[in-house]
Amino acid sequence: MPTLRVPPWARVGHIFKSRWGWRIFLGSFVIVALPLLGVSLLSWELTHALQQRATQRLMAEATKAATLNLFDRLRSAERLLRAQAQARAAGQPNPALEAQAAAVFDRVVLPGGPVPDALATLTLEDDPNGRRLVPRLRLPAAGGGVIDGVLKADYLLENLASGAHDICLRSPAMNGAYCLMPLAGYDLAQSHTRPLHFMPYFEGPSWTLTAAPDRQAYRFLPFGAGAMLAQATGLAFLLALMASSFYARRITLPLEALIGATRTVRAGDFGQRIDASAMTDEFRELAESFNGMVGEIGADLAFSQLLAQMDAAILARQPLADIMQLALRHLTGGTPGLQVTLRATPPPTAPQPHEAVEFALSADGLLEHRPPRPLPAGFTGQDIAVADRPARRLTLHVQQPAAAPPWPVRLHHELQALAARLAVAVHADEREQQLIARATVDSLTGLLNRLGMTDAIDQAIARARTATAPVAAPADGTAGFALVFLDLDGFKDVNDAYGHATGDRLLQQVAYRLQAALAAQDVALARLGGDEFVLLFGTAGLPRLGTDLQAVLAALRQPFRIDALEILVGASLGVARHPAHGGDAETLLKNADAAMYAAKAGGRNRIVEYTATLNEATAERLELRRDLVGALAGDQLFLVFQPRVRAADGQVESAEVLLRWRHPQRGLVPPDRFIPLAEETGLIADIGLWVLRESLRQMRAWRATGQAPLAKLSVNLSPQQLAHRDFLAQVEALAAEFAPPHGSVELEITEGAFFRDMAGSVQKLHRLRALGFDIALDDFGVGYSAMSYLSTLPFDTLKIDRSFVGALGQQAAAYAIASAIVALAKALDKRIVAEGVETEAQAQVLRALGVQELQGYLYSGPVAQDALAPRLEQLAARHHAGTPSPGA
């Protein structure tokens, strides 16, 4: 762990970088300086006083010595003068004396004669000419003379001079004092004055002698005390400096370290520690508790960051394993001897037996799962609950040597918090799984939905891509799988007739039948929405594709029972193969869809495999579908009429009304192409009603002329129209409006229309018949042809489908079927019409079978309304001539 250490060279400098360093330093300086200043002042006063006293004493001494000296010299000079005078008086001048006197006196006046014992008079005067002192000794000599000696001032003052003080002499005869030196440099305040009395040795006034100390000479008189004081002061300062810098350092260094450490912590680095070993006392405690605190906060922060990371992972819907890994990584290695894993164990009450699983970090820090390991000897284990589910119990499993100390509080808290977070993650994961399941499964049927199927296709594509084994490729060279688009025929009618609840139940049954019908294992089933199903035949299931799809068709053709209803639907199937018909889910689905449409257009209840041209057809169909919406309003629809002739005599009794669409760009669009589109879009309800209304209107118009070309019209009804809830009411309204005579309008219905709801259809047919409409079963023989139902159906006419008529004379079966149908109709006493009669031979066969009416190009194709009358006349003329003419 990095620690903060201050290099030694920086330590003293550091003091002055720290404010506290300054304070301590200045504080201790002031603390030392103030008393020292006081002491200094005091001692200065003291030494001053001492010095004065000493000076004064010295001056006293000096004056004393000076007076003694002066006195001695004056006495010597007097004795010399007397001796000289006596010697002169005795007439024996002494040369030695003379010489000595010359040194002492400037001038001597010796009048001669005996020298009296009288006292010598001593005077001291100024020399009026200059700054000279004139000391004079006078003795009265016998005879009235005076022995007079003027002393040399130098002789007198010779010994008085001193470097340390000045001596001044004064006598009453002097103006002022005579000083040896100019007084300027001397301290008169400290001078000492002493009188020099001459009595009883000399006559004359007393002199005064003053000694004044040299200003400089005595200043340092008590020098020792001052020096000592200065030394002591200096020492004290030095000590204070040292002490203050020492303590300042003791304080500022840890402070610096603490401040530096708090800064790094503030910058987000919790790994820094203060080197407490270099500190003492409270600072050490402070540093240690700081380190502890930073460690705690750092650990807290790291842990909360981990939790935040886990939260982010949960929100980002990362796999549960990633989140487990985060938690385990945090717990691993922190506490020695501690091993933490996640355990999923089935509770004893689990509904299904599960294997227990343990999730642990591998050596390289990745999550691995394995069977739970038994507790090693000497270890204790503890489980912290994470999630309790009926099927499994997830716990944080902690193993630790039995001898290990109890968990630190932090570990305890962290384990609890991690368990709580993991619980959230598990919950989120379960939700995610549910959502995925919900997102990919169709809630109505339990099959896959579009998303699920797209996934399945993507997976199949991925598998096909990786499967290099030639075994996987079918014989035709295309690898992979097949996609089958299945659309129910007539589902919309069921929804329209019975509502969505019934429709939904039908879809559920369809789903069930689909699953039951498929023998292949490798098939995924989906409902994309509405009545669109998709089957994905995987590589393994591919060989069974043909047989399974036939089985599906057969299964869906069986009537469905929903409550009292018996419903018949069929299915159209389109097949697209991977990779021949597309490399991705979207293309494959689109192409299978196109193939399915082709199957629908091709007459339903069949299987069509995709070809490249199908897509063009699909695009065209989409375009037509769009254009059809405006066709009715845009007056693009019109009716044509195809006469029906009596088989016996060729008389035209009625005609079939057939719808035409003149597309503004495409021209005439055949009904085989646009009627299915109208049914898909639901437009057929409006269009069909329009056809019926137009037919009724035409009939009424003809009636109004008094000579109707035809007494009867057949109008086609789409199964959807019959199934529509409003249909009967609408037909009733039309009947009321146009009042068609009974039997003048026949409604052609294909059998599929009412097999879906037999009872309801029967009821509706009864109502229609009650309104005066005849009922014809159109296209009989194809489709469901559940002949057993025929007896219960209220109808008047049976139209043999043109496919049988066309096959007459070519296929033996066609004749058999046609004759069976005719026999059946005769048995039921129904009128029989054959459509699509193109040749006289067909007409003859049909006539021979007992078919009452014939319709087909042999007599006439559909003709427009204004061409109808001429055509009918033509037919009548031919009837009379007995020769047929080619049709339209």
Exposed/middle/buried for residue 52 (C-beta within 10 Å: 0-12, 13-18, 19+): middle
Closest to ligand C2E by CB, 75 or 673: 673
778 binds Ca ion (CB under 5 A): yes
Cα gap 537→474, rounded to integer Å: 12
CB of residue 625 vs ligand C2E: minimum separation in angstroms?
A: 16
From the list Ca ion, ligand C2E, none, partner contacted by residue 658 (C-beta under 5 to 8 A by kind)? ligand C2E
For ligand C2E, the closer CB: 214 or 801? 801
Tell me: does residue 493 bind Ca ion (CB under 5 A).
no
> With CB under 5 A as the contact rule, which of the stretches 221-229, 358-366, 716-724, 867-875 interacts with Ca ion?
716-724
In angstroms, give the least distance from the CB of 687 to ligand C2E. 7
- Measured from the CB of residue 639, what is the shortest distance to ligand C2E in angstroms? 7
Closer to Ca ion by Cβ: residue 774 or 779: 779
**Are the C-beta atoms of 358 and 342 separated by less than 8 Å?**
yes
- At residue 2, the 3 state secondary structure works out as coil
Q: What is the CA radius of gyration of the chain?
A: 73
How near is the Cβ of 715 to Ca ion at its closest, in Å? 9
Q: CA 424, CA 310: separation in Å to the nearest integer?
A: 10
- For residue 814, the partner it binds in Ca ion, ligand C2E, none, with Cβ less than 5 to 8 A by kind, is none
Token output for 408: 């630190």
672 binds, among Ca ion, ligand C2E, none (CB under 5 to 8 A by kind): ligand C2E
Cβ of residue 778: shortest distance to Ca ion, in angstroms? 4
Q: Cα–chain-centroid distance for residue 192?
A: 103
Q: Between residues 262 and 865, which has the closer beta carbon with respect to ligand C2E?
A: 865
- The stretch among 234-242, 628-636, 714-722, 818-826 that binds Ca ion (CB under 5 A) is 714-722
Nearer to Ca ion, 489 or 748 (CB): 748
Least separation in angstroms between residue 573's CB and ligand C2E is 22
Q: Which is nearer to Ca ion, 593 or 748 (CB)?
A: 748
Nearer CB in complex with ligand C2E: 537/738: 738
Q: Which two tokens stand for residue 17?
A: 């970088």
Q: Which does 670 bind (CB under 5 to 8 A by kind): Ca ion, ligand C2E, none?
A: ligand C2E
Q: Which is nearer to ligand C2E, 18 or 855 (CB)?
A: 855
- The entry of Ca ion, ligand C2E, none near residue 857 (CB within 5 to 8 angstroms by kind) is ligand C2E
Residues of this chain that interact with ligand C2E (CB under 6 A) are: 642, 657-659, 670-672, 675, 688, 691, 716-718, 748, 778-779, 802, 835-838, 855-857, 862
Work out what residue 135 binds among Ca ion, ligand C2E, none; the CB cut-off runs from 5 to 8 Å by kind. none
Nearest to 341 by CA among 373, 378, 314, 306: 373
Q: How far is the CB of 475 from Ca ion (least distance, A)?
A: 41
The residue among 256 and 835 lying less far from Ca ion, judged by its C-beta, is 835
Pick one of Ca ion, ligand C2E, none as the site partner of residue 691 (Cβ within 5 to 8 A by kind): ligand C2E
DSSP per-residue string spanning 767-779: HHHHTT-EEEEEE
Rounded to a whole number of angstroms, the minimum distance from the CB of residue 561 to Ca ion is: 30
End-to-end, the C-alpha distance of the chain in Å comes to 105
Residue with tokens 């000696």: 149
In whole angstroms, how far apart are CA 152 and each of 77, 84, 149, 163, 568? 10, 16, 9, 22, 177
Q: Which residues contact 99 (CB under 8 A, 6 or more apart)?
A: none
CB of 656 to ligand C2E, least distance (A): 6
Shortest CB 716 distance to ligand C2E, Å: 3
Return the number of the residue (566 or 838) whose C-beta is nearest ligand C2E: 838
Using alpha carbons, list the distances in angstroms from residue 551 to 383, 445, 472, 542, 608.
55, 20, 24, 14, 15
Helix, strand, coil percentages in the chain from 3-state DSSP, rounded to 5: 50, 20, 30
User: Binding of Ca ion at residue 716 (CB under 5 A)?
Assistant: yes
Q: Which residues pair with 4 in a beta bridge?
A: 274
Q: What is the number of other CB atoms lying within 10 angstroms of the CB of residue 426?
A: 21
Shortest approach of ligand C2E to residue 439 CB, angstroms? 41
**Helix and strand tally (H, E) in the chain?**
24, 33
- Report if residue 191 touches Ca ion, rule: CB under 5 A: no
- Exposure string (b/e) for 212-243, b if CB count within 10 Å is 16 or more? bbbeebbeebbeeeeeebeeebeeeeeebeee
- Report the alpha-carbon distance of residue 576 to residue 301 in Å, rounded: 59
Q: Give every CB contact of residue 790 below 8 A, 6+ residues apart in sequence.
A: 777, 824, 828
| Residues 740-759 within binding reach of Ca ion (CB under 5 A) | 748
Which residue lies nearer to Ca ion by CB, 464 or 834?
834
Stretch 779-808: interaction string toward Ca ion, x if CB under 5 A: x-----------------------------
Number of residues engaging Ca ion in binding (CB under 5 A): 4
Assigned token pair, 468? 């290099």
Q: Kindly list the residues in this chain that would bind Ca ion in the complex (CB under 5 A).
A: 716, 748, 778-779
